[in-house]
A and B are shown apart, each in its own frame.
Chain A
Amino acid sequence: MSLVGGSLLLVFGLSRGGRSGALAALGGGALIYRAARGRSLLYDALGLREEPTHVARVASLAHCRGVTVRRTVAINKPVEEVYAFWRAFENLPRFMRHLESVTCDGPRRSRWVARAPAGRRVTWDAEIVDERPNELIAWRSLDDADIRNAGAVAFERGPGGRGTTIRVSLAYAPPGGKFAAVIAKLFGEEPSQQVQDDLRRLKHLMEAGEVPTTEGQPRGES
């Protein structure tokens, strides 16, 4: 995603909301790529055919590096079940390590609380900008969020009826100043590894009903 070197454009539009704007917001990097290759990787990643018809606002964030992560995981459960689990946003902190809570506030609005360094918290409000049952959920933070971010998850029946394949895209606009550290904590040094670990935990939870752990087990003294 470092296609354009020092100045990475992140698309963060959505003044008018709506699906196209939100999806555009998911991947500034992807859209840049699209400009270069004539296709949107994000759309490919999500398995969507439609492209956004307009981009409401493009923010140029010079000297910053944006984070766009795409990962996929196969879950041995029916699409309906996986979709329902994710759609209940309160479940997200059960597998996304750095979220403390998500509370729903009406059918489309939610309030997110993430753990920040030094025991602090960061909160923002988000809204669902698109949802198609058993296919897609897309959301983005509201405009006044300190950490502007957006996400989408696409659900697909696995080959031969083997469970569900989900494809997740997350995009974070890099904030300056004190929030830079929060982003570092949210996504770690290897953002895509972190998301992969989150998705593995989701798989553990959905398939086996628990996340394996050895934290708190005994070891020899001395």
Chain B
Amino acid sequence: MKAVCWYGAGDLRVERAPDPEILNPHDAIVRVTRAAICGSDLHLFGGFIPMMKSGDILGHEFMGEVVEVGAATTAVKRGDRVVVPFAIACGQCFFCQRELPSLCDNTNPNAGTLEKLYGASGSGVFGSSHLYGGDAGGQAEYVRVPFADVGALKIPEGVDDEQALFLSDILPTGYMAAENCTIRSGDVVAVWGCGPVGQFAIRSAYMLGAERVIAIDRFPERLHMAETHGKAEVLNDEDLDAVEELRDRTGGRGPDACIDAVGMEAHGTGVAALYDRAKQAVRLETDRPTALREALHACRKGGTVSIPGVYGGYVDTLPLGAAFAKGLTIRMGQTHVHRYMRPLLNASSAARSIRPS
């Protein structure tokens, strides 16, 4: 088959690779019909995530048709049209049973390494670094899906591929980012980053009762999309100081909730940004937390900072004092996609009204 393969920082190629085979009884093989590119792929492309190996197949947002199932796979059948969550979950462990599938204990074959780094390992993730299991991804003609009965969601007739595809990651990610803000009606929510995650977070925030959403980025076309499709107020942080401007637009109080939909490769200006770039370049700092710093500074007292943006290691000069003094709640993590796929598919208000194209 053909697949998008990683050969080093900045070096992705479409190469030939053997077709995947069933390796475990709960596996299925899916013929991919659609796949998307995520901001997380950019972190891999940029070489910011350790333990990538030459030839790794990328892609964690995909859907397709089941062509083969393992001996213990019962719910999913050949011919099913399915969309698959980016995180792999067993459905049986302590975490799966608490609806925290991206923290699953039983799907990362390299859990030992992450245990050393982080003290514990989350679930395996498709098309990511071997830290997260290194399961070959879905930017390929075929992909092996472990625990297919738990993950793969059968797509009903009437929902087209493009609508279903985004259930694999970014729609749930944007939604969980907003849900983590415990929005009350009338709230003002600020969103850093107007990539796909930010765009879905904006719409989800409105769905969950926000009165105003303020979207921050520097690219006019992305801001334009946030404004026209998302109905957000926009703030170009190349022209304006985001923290000052947010205070100004909220009577000095700050937004009730702030979402960092940017993650470890934030752009920035001024001395702090130069400092971060320099330290990241020599790997003294692994992540550039510009957006997160701003979110922590801007958020109102007692507010919530929600972090869907990915961080991998260490960050410097995080204003923990400000967060503490303001009594902030901070929530974060990989999205529990399994938890949201069905409700988001069913909620015609969500999945069906959101047409990426």
A-B contact pairs, 21 of them (CB 8 A): A74-B94, A76-B92, A197-B112, A207-B93, A209-B72, A210-B25, A210-B26, A212-B24, A212-B109, A212-B146, A214-B109, A215-B23, A216-B23, A217-B23, A218-B1, A218-B136, A219-B53, A219-B136, A220-B5, A220-B7, A220-B57
B174 sits at the interface (CB 8 A): no
- B124 interface contact, C-beta 8 A: yes
Instruction: Using A207-B93, A214-B134 as known contacts, list a sample of 15 further A-B pairs with CB atoms less than 8 Å apart, ordered by residue number in A.
Output: A162-B94, A196-B112, A203-B105, A207-B90, A208-B92, A208-B93, A209-B25, A209-B92, A210-B25, A210-B26, A212-B109, A213-B24, A219-B56, A220-B3, A220-B55
Is there an interface contact between B25 and A221, defined as CB atoms closer than 8 Å?
A: no
Docked complex Cα distance between A47 and B330 (Å): 38
Contacts of A162 in B (CB 8 A): 94
- Tell me the nearest residue of chain A to B72, going by C-beta: A209
Q: Is the CB of B133 within 8 A of A214?
A: yes
Q: Which residues of B contact A207 (CB under 8 A)?
A: 90, 92-93, 105-106
Q: Is the CB of A208 within 8 A of B16?
A: no
Q: Which residues of B, 1-55, contact A by the 8 Å Cβ criterion?
A: 1, 3, 5-7, 13, 15-21, 23-26, 53-55
Task: List A residues 156-192 near B (Cβ within 8 Å).
Answer: 162-163
Q: Tell me the minimal C-beta distance from B203 to chain A in angstroms.
A: 35
In contact, B92 and A220 (Cβ under 8 angstroms): no
C-alpha gap A212/B93 in the complex (Å): 14
Instruction: Provide the residues of chain A in CB contact with B185, threshold 8 Å.
Output: none
Kindly list chain A residues whose C-beta atoms are within 8 Å of the C-beta of B25.
209-210
Interface bin, chain A:
20 to 34
Q: Count CB-based A-B contacts (< 8 Å).
A: 100
CB of A71 within 8 A of chain B?
Answer: no
Asked if A94 is at the interface of the complex by the 8 Å CB criterion, the answer is no
A7 on interface, CB distance cutoff 8 Å? no
- B13 engages A220 (CB within 8 Å): yes
Does A193 count as interface, using CB distance less than 8 angstroms? Answer: yes
Which of B1, B26, B94, B111 contacts A76 (CB under 8 A)?
A: B94
Q: Chain A's interface: helix, strand, loop or mixed, by majority?
A: loop
Interface residues of B, count at CB 8 A: 46
Q: Which residues of B contact A76 (CB under 8 A)?
A: 92-94, 97, 105
Q: Please give, as numbers and ranges, the residues of chain A lying within 8 Å of B91 by CB-CB distance.
A: 208
Q: Could you say which residues of chain B place their CB within 8 Å of the CB of A115?
A: none
- From A76, A207, A218, A221, name the one whose CB has the most chain B CB atoms within 10 angstroms: A218
Contacts of A221 in B (CB 8 A): 15-17, 55
B304 contacts the other chain (CB 8 A):
no
**Leading 10 A-B pairs by shortest Cβ distance:** A220-B5, A208-B90, A219-B55, A220-B55, A220-B15, A208-B106, A218-B17, A218-B18, A212-B109, A210-B24
Binary flags per residue of A140-153, CB closer than 8 Å to B gives 1, else 0: 00000000000000
Q: CB distance A220 to B16 under 8 Å? A: yes
Interface flags, B129-140, vs A, CB<8A=1, else 0? 000011110001
Instruction: Name the contact of A219 in the complex, choosing from B5, B108, B146 (C-beta under 8 A).
Output: B5
B179 vs chain A, min Cβ distance (A): 26
Residue A53 is within 8 A (CB to CB) of chain B in the complex:
no
A204: Cβ under 8 A from any B Cβ: yes
How far apart are the CA atoms of A209 and B56 in the complex, in Å? 27
CB distance from A197 to the nearest CB of B (A): 6
Q: CA–CA, A84 to B98, complex, Å?
A: 26
B105-152 interface (Cβ within 8 A of A): 105-109, 111-112, 124, 133-136, 140, 144, 146-147
**Cα distance, A109 to B15, chains bound together (Å):** 54
Assess the B108–A212 pair: CB atoms within 8 A.
yes
Residues of B within 8 A of A222 (CB): 15, 55
Decide: A200 near B136, CB < 8 A? Known: A163-B94, A216-B21: no
**In the complex the two chains form, what is the Cα distance from A162 to B54 in whole Å?**
41
Residue ID in chain A nearest B58 by CB atoms:
A220
Name the B residues within 8 Å of A203 (CB-CB): 105-106
> Are B97 and A217 closer than 8 Å at their CB atoms?
no
Once bound together, how far apart are the Cα atoms of A213 and B109, in whole Å?
5
